[in-house]
Amino acid sequence: MRVVEEASIRAVVSVAEARQAVHDAFCALADGTVLAPEEMAMKLEHGGELHVKGAYLGGQFIAFKAATGGFPGGGNSGFTSVIDGETGAPVAILRDGGWLTEMRTAAASAVSAGALARPDSRRLAILGGGYQAAFQVEALRDVFAFESVLVWSRTVETASRFAAANQAKQASSVAEAVAGADIIICCTPSHEPLLHASMLDAGSHVIAMGADMVGKRELAPDVLEAATLITADAVDVASRVGELQHAPDQLSRAINLGDVLTGRSTGRNAAEGFTVTDLCGLGVQDAAMAQLVMSRLAD
Beta-bridge partner residues of 177: none
Q: Is 121 exposed, middle or buried (0-12, 13-18, 19+ CB in 10 A)?
A: buried
Give 133-174 pLDDT, tens digit per residue: 999 999 999 999 999 999 999 999 999 999 999 999 999 999
Mean of pLDDT values over 78-93: 96
What pLDDT sits at residue 73? Answer: 85
CA distance 131 to 103: 11
User: Is residue 106 assigned to a domain?
Assistant: no
For residues 124 and 218, state if they share a domain: yes
For residues 122 and 63, state if they share a domain: no
For residues 254 and 129, state if they share a domain: yes
For residues 172 and 259, state if they share a domain: yes
For residues 66 and 194, state if they share a domain: no
What pLDDT sits at residue 104? Answer: 97
Q: Of the given ranges (43-52, 90-99, 119-128), which has the lowest mean pLDDT?
A: 43-52
User: Is residue 111 assigned to a domain?
Assistant: no
Q: Is 80 exposed, middle or buried (0-12, 13-18, 19+ CB in 10 A)?
A: buried
- Structurally, the chain folds into a number of domains equal to 2
Confidence band (pLDDT; 50, 70, 90) for 75?
A: confident
Strand pairing class (49-56; 61-69): antiparallel
User: Is residue 163 assigned to a domain?
Assistant: yes
Mean of pLDDT values over 42-69: 92
Give 184-213 pLDDT, tens digit per residue: 999 999 999 999 999 999 999 999 999 998
- The CATH number covering residue 29 comes to 3.30.1780.10
pLDDT > 90? residue 74 = no
For residues 126 and 68, state if they share a domain: no
The alpha helices in the chain, defined as continuous H runs, are 6-12, 15-31, 99-116, 131-141, 156-165, 174-178, 221-226, 235-241, 257-261, 283-298
- The CATH number covering residue 192 comes to 3.40.50.720
Confidence band (pLDDT; 50, 70, 90) for 70?
A: confident
User: Is residue 270 assigned to a domain?
Assistant: yes
pLDDT > 80? residue 257 = yes
What pLDDT sits at residue 299? Answer: 76
What pLDDT sits at residue 250? Answer: 97
Give 271-293 pLDDT, tens digit per residue: 778 999 999 999 999 999 999 99
For residues 127 and 142, state if they share a domain: yes
CA distance 203 to 257: 18
User: Is residue 234 assigned to a domain?
Assistant: yes
Confidence band (pLDDT; 50, 70, 90) for 298?
A: confident
- Helix, strand, or coil here: 123? strand
Confidence band (pLDDT; 50, 70, 90) for 269?
A: confident
Confidence band (pLDDT; 50, 70, 90) for 9?
A: very high
For residues 274 and 287, state if they share a domain: no
For residues 62 and 156, state if they share a domain: no
What pLDDT sits at residue 275? Answer: 97
**With pLDDT > 70 as the criterion, what percentage of the chain qualifies?**
100
Measure CA of the first residue to CA of the last residue in the chain; give whole Å. Answer: 18
- Within 8 A by CB and 6+ apart from 265, the residues are 255, 256, 259
For residues 133 and 266, state if they share a domain: yes
pLDDT > 90? residue 123 = yes
What pLDDT sits at residue 76? Answer: 79
Residue scoring higher pLDDT (41 or 262) = 262
CB 95 within 8 A of CB 105: no
User: Is residue 169 assigned to a domain?
Assistant: yes
For residues 271 and 142, state if they share a domain: yes
User: Is residue 108 assigned to a domain?
Assistant: no
Phi, psi of 36 (to 5 degrees): -140, 100
pLDDT > 90? residue 47 = no
User: Is residue 122 assigned to a domain?
Assistant: yes
CB 116 within 8 A of CB 267: yes
The range of the structural domain enclosing residue 289 comes to 2-101+283-298
For residues 294 and 254, state if they share a domain: no
pLDDT > 80? residue 240 = yes
Phi-psi region at 89: left, alpha or beta (left = phi > 0; alpha = psi -120 to 50)? beta
The structure's pTM equals 0.94
